[in-house]
Structure 1
């Protein structure tokens, strides 16, 4: 039996919803036309949401197909728990550097693993913060390590995506989600040439954004 996709489910729910409203209108109102006119903006918003979800799903599928064709070892990771496990394992196994972007990180196991690795190894850690606000968890994480040897933190007010995580062994590219602040889909890329190019990309961002070197610098950025 063919599985019904999310787009079809949304349409079915919308049809049922509209049918119920029209039935109620027949029961409780004398003017169906005025009722529909008042309901029209809501219908348009629902349709816009469905189309946005559809376009995002199509975009993710296209990116996945292209990358898997040109980089056969690419892995598509779906689900917040899977990402948490992959990110935490990646930073634990890093021996030379950890590079990452974004200001919304909240996974405590992942952030703690970075802190432990910095204490144990002679490792470089680059963190490029995007946006006017960062998460409380990320601020607490950075307050523990900012100013230490090998820790490089910079910031820009621009809201940018996707989230990147790179070690000398693996690269992860987070895909944008329809819901704001959600992060549950990413690509895992082991290709060395891609990793090296992405590493240079993050170093360029660090060079061209505002560098933070103290707790005072960090506390100037608002938190959620």
Structure 2
């Protein structure tokens, strides 16, 4: 599984240009020698806007209380009812494939690994997950959770020289990683990647830690 910690919402407006020869984005002209039509590649562009990247909570353990010191702990993590994410695209025209749009977004964001495409299963799955940790001197209250690094964006797809074809507008939802966490309620919730709050950890701490604990107070 791809695991990355993402920060909260970042809004970006940018353009990614591609050179393609796909249906709906090709031009044709008469071949004077043979009288046949030939397709010529045209420059097609994805203009991205309202890009949002946020870590979303997908599963929670029960509150974990270790009354005696131990060097290991395991905890089942149940999926949150009604919370499921599936890579998809909504568009005003059928000519743009969801997988192509998501790949273009990944290239624009320069993600370390490809973004999840529509062939991947929804997360979280129905079976939930589990967490296991082997470390010394574990004692007190803890919490465990799972998350998905959600990525959403609007786009306008247009092809230069493609006659009177109107630009296609759409929206994609995908993710660049899933993961899990385990922390002590006795520690404040620290900021995550790039100095931005770890949204999933904060939400988990508020739900699972005692109200007077450092984690709950800083969440």
Instruction: Pick the TM interval, shorter chain.
Output: under 0.3
**TM-score normalized by the length of structure 2:** 0.27
Higher relative contact order (CA 8 A, sep 6+): 2
Whose helix proportion is higher, 1 or 2?
1
Whose strand proportion is higher, 1 or 2?
2
